[in-house]
Structure 1
């Protein structure tokens, strides 16, 4: 099987930025809050010309004492990058709109044999990027990476003037759309780097295990490398620990290779083995750590390395509740995934958007399986072709960034989208696109359960296109009591693996009462006990669950003045990082499942 993601060399989203020659632009950035977008539009609401002196991407320094400047950057107004703006100053708590970021920096100029890019891990939501008064480009989408090449001659050795217009307004024709159930953290939320590469460089690559060889003594590692421009030469592939060093010839912009390997240790949650892989051409050299495993569906089971696996999951938002901020980087990933490991989970659903790059890398090292998702969420504009194209772009950017991560086993194309013809066409297009980009992983979406004449029914037409049937259900929280689980009847239209992608109940951490009292830890504990008993009675295609959610998180939709106050409190850890009683119910269930699958 050939991974079908290889891109045209004209699509220059650089992968494995941490493996390149980089200069970080993280740290303190000056800012201007611009709710009327004065720095972008003139008083006739027309986009300002590039050389407009009043445009906020141009210098704020007056030429002389008669010169009029109505904007200015100052160290009195500083925002940290990477980080959301909401958590850095109380005036930003509910702010949605434009903030201009400015960074002054020095740089080493590229040689004649080098190119230089500016790379953003993510900016929420729309970013316009300017360097020394020249626009480099625009990117839309709050959770995926992007980069722009800096034209030769524009970069200076000293006092470069980098400006980013960041706008996090929610819009009907964007992804996500107006209505979500999480905090709309604005800002430059992930790393910013200058990336220096050779003129001809490796823009993307894939190295993976052929499914057909998983049980063979001699396994097959297959892959491809795409260069940024048409070229020809020899590509060297090395895996030092396996004593592999081989070459492939590339023509045009692509090289493909296939290597026979003995004594390959497969990546598993129990033993997450990673190998150093080195790819080098005449001009470029990249190093990555890659795990080799296969994932597929056979009948009613999910097979990891051709063995059935039960997904002991939990959902995670990209948020650190104790600090009320967007999560980013390795330290935060270790906290969140460490909590999941403490729960006895072997899988996480990263909801409802692509999380920062460190999450999948840390999951690789810890042996945690990952569901990664784009924010096609609830009721986006499914009849709008432009919206579909935006969804496809975010899908491509997510997959391109992380398709070498062994931990990721599921690409999800959306969450809880309402069933109607336009929506199903839209979602089917995303499933087709995801398979075209990467046919080595499973494709799914979080569907909804509907009560039909007293029966919990799963018959969403999207289920015929996905590899597994994944559903969100809240029997006993949004309808009835947890005890309703005891007599629940289930009807599943599709003879595929059945995965419960969400279930949960809210509890205010530290609030204790009897189990009938909503919002109490005891009610949530009861809910989990009844849910788990119901799961144990599921048919034999039941392959796991990822309850909602690991940690309490911020949401403007949650406005009970006693038990919520802007928080969704369905977490198993509360706002201060304390475990709730339901944590131990799920932890014990997962320990029981783990013991049973080992015998």
Structure 2
């Protein structure tokens, strides 16, 4: 059978549960009559449903009914959530099927034995975004704590004998040498019968088949009921066209699993031939030094929270390219479309899990088993989801945590080693903020620092030199630098567009003057954004709406857009 998808996006019933009595009231049961519940769209953030819910933190419920397609009979059925913030508990037909912790990583549950084909199925979902220490992040993070099911929900029908995982590794070998291609393919048999299967692989460039150096690529395998098999296949691509920001060449891998000529499963995956590594104090893309230029961004859109209804995501990424940027960074796993677009337009991606600020409010978070478990799960999901995207070049294990404390070393050392064990082809990074007091930079391949020095550019230079002395044999990337500006504020003084431009230019000059060990920098940030209320000691322009963007939240351009485009024109690594 072919894979199929039943989209569950659309109008759902919604109700807040401020007193947390929904389970007691039976809101998860099919027979419950949800009288008075609002009808709201999924994907959606409840902050956008009503003005009174903007900033609501706590529990809320979603309910819908669905009927599986008849063609899904006999398949393995998986319920998949692309994203919900933060703790999510799911019931199907009154039975709890699973719980997930995490606000940005996709998750799912096998519901094969719980779905009815005889009528409506009742899906009830409880989402809780209450700020708590020991959550990852602890919801006191530096962005708005949007609640709800804000990415798609799907029912997936999968063949019982199928391709369950694919890892593609393709790097340039050298001048005019064929590019080695390595595939690790995992097959599973969740059926009742023994299966003698044949796996074949084909590579395409556009619509043209690529004739691999070693001939056809494939293998045969015997799968007993309930078993799993991992196959490693290798070959080489002649005259491979490399992937880079300037020339984002993509190949397609077509995988087919057959039994006696009958197709059991098929997969199609885009990939690129490229390498990205640390060498001494430099970053090399395809063996050549690269100067990193780019932006941080939040997944946030005017009036719709984290839901992109107007194609703004793609416009954001293209704007970064138009400003001569080559990288985008977020503090968390983004919408799946981000990585597909970045692959196609040639934009490097810094992929990070939201271990943001861990231990800064309570040092016990650093040794909390729950924090460790959730962070590890997020890292596993991040790498499993994004490992085949050529645009993704860095695995980052955290941002601005209490890594000035020695007890942080166990957590971040563990995460760094886990990342390397899951994917040894990309550098592992960590982003600090404690300058020469950082205690974990030696644990990662790529130390990074966030520095906001305003007009004091000379002090920025002194601090970068002192930080680099911690790990003088490694590069030091500036992952955040920037300044606030209100659209339309001009002239001298903090908060004007003119001062924002001046800060960006003078800070960038300091970064470039140290290009022997600072391979570039990322501006904070692309667009203005809503922020959890900052304390009165923080003298920002606005305590809940941060204006560091070179555009407003509505994507209106400030002066900095043109200035950055000029600043990054014609750079040499």
Give 1:361 deviation, angstroms.
0.8
Asked if 1 retains the 8 angstrom alpha-carbon contact of 2:184 and 2:233, the reply is yes
Give runs of aligned pairs for residues 21-420 of structure 1, distance below 5 A: 21-40=4-23, 42=24, 54-61=25-32, 72-73=34-35, 77-109=38-70, 113-152=74-113, 154-210=115-171, 213-215=173-175, 217-229=177-189, 233-240=197-204, 241=208, 242-244=210-212, 245-250=216-221, 252-282=228-258, 283-320=264-301, 322-323=302-303, 325-328=305-308, 331-350=311-330, 352-380=331-359, 381-418=365-402, 419-420=404-405
Residue 503 of structure 1 corresponds to which residue in structure 2?
A: 481
Tell me if 1:437 matches 2:417: no
* Cα distance in structure 2, aligned partners of 1:24 and 1:374: 27
Give runs of aligned pairs for residues 11-22 of structure 1, distance below 5 A: 20-22=3-5
Q: 1:178 to 1:145 in 2, by over 3 A?
A: closer
Asked if 2 retains the 8 angstrom alpha-carbon contact of 1:101 and 1:164, the reply is yes
Residue 66 of structure 1 corresponds to which residue in structure 2?
A: none
* Cα distance in structure 2, aligned partners of 1:306 and 1:328: 36
* Cα distance in structure 1, aligned partners of 2:155 and 2:99: 17
Residue 531 of structure 1 corresponds to which residue in structure 2?
A: 507
Asked if 1 retains the 8 angstrom alpha-carbon contact of 2:45 and 2:307, the reply is no
Asked if 2 retains the 8 angstrom alpha-carbon contact of 1:60 and 1:72, the reply is no
Match of 1:424 among 393, 406, 409: 409
Give 1:228 deviation, angstroms.
3.6
Secondary structure of 2:566's counterpart equals helix
The count of aligned residue pairs is 540
Match of 1:446 among 412, 431, 435: 431
* Cα distance in structure 2, aligned partners of 1:330 and 1:277: 31
* Cα distance in structure 2, aligned partners of 1:250 and 1:476: 61
Render the CA deviation track for 1:527-558: whole Å, top value 9, x for unaligned.
Answer: 11221221232151221111110000101324
Give 1:328 deviation, angstroms.
4.4
Give 1:131 deviation, angstroms.
1.3
Q: 1:416 to 1:203 in 2, by over 3 A?
A: same
Residue 556 of structure 1 corresponds to which residue in structure 2?
A: 532
Tell me if 1:569 matches 2:547: yes
* Cα distance in structure 2, aligned partners of 1:562 and 1:306: 42
Instruction: Give 5+ residue unaligned stretches, structure 1.
Output: 1-18, 43-53, 62-70, 451-456
Q: 1:414 to 1:365 in 2, by over 3 A?
A: same
* Cα distance in structure 1, aligned partners of 2:114 and 2:81: 21
Asked if 2 retains the 8 angstrom alpha-carbon contact of 1:475 and 1:482, the reply is yes
TM-score, normalization by structure 2: 0.89
* Cα distance in structure 2, aligned partners of 1:532 and 1:465: 27
Give 1:315 deviation, angstroms.
0.6
* Cα distance in structure 2, aligned partners of 1:467 and 1:184: 31
* Cα distance in structure 2, aligned partners of 1:405 and 1:111: 30
Q: 1:258 to 1:552 in 2, by over 3 A?
A: same
Asked if 1 retains the 8 angstrom alpha-carbon contact of 2:176 and 2:239, the reply is no
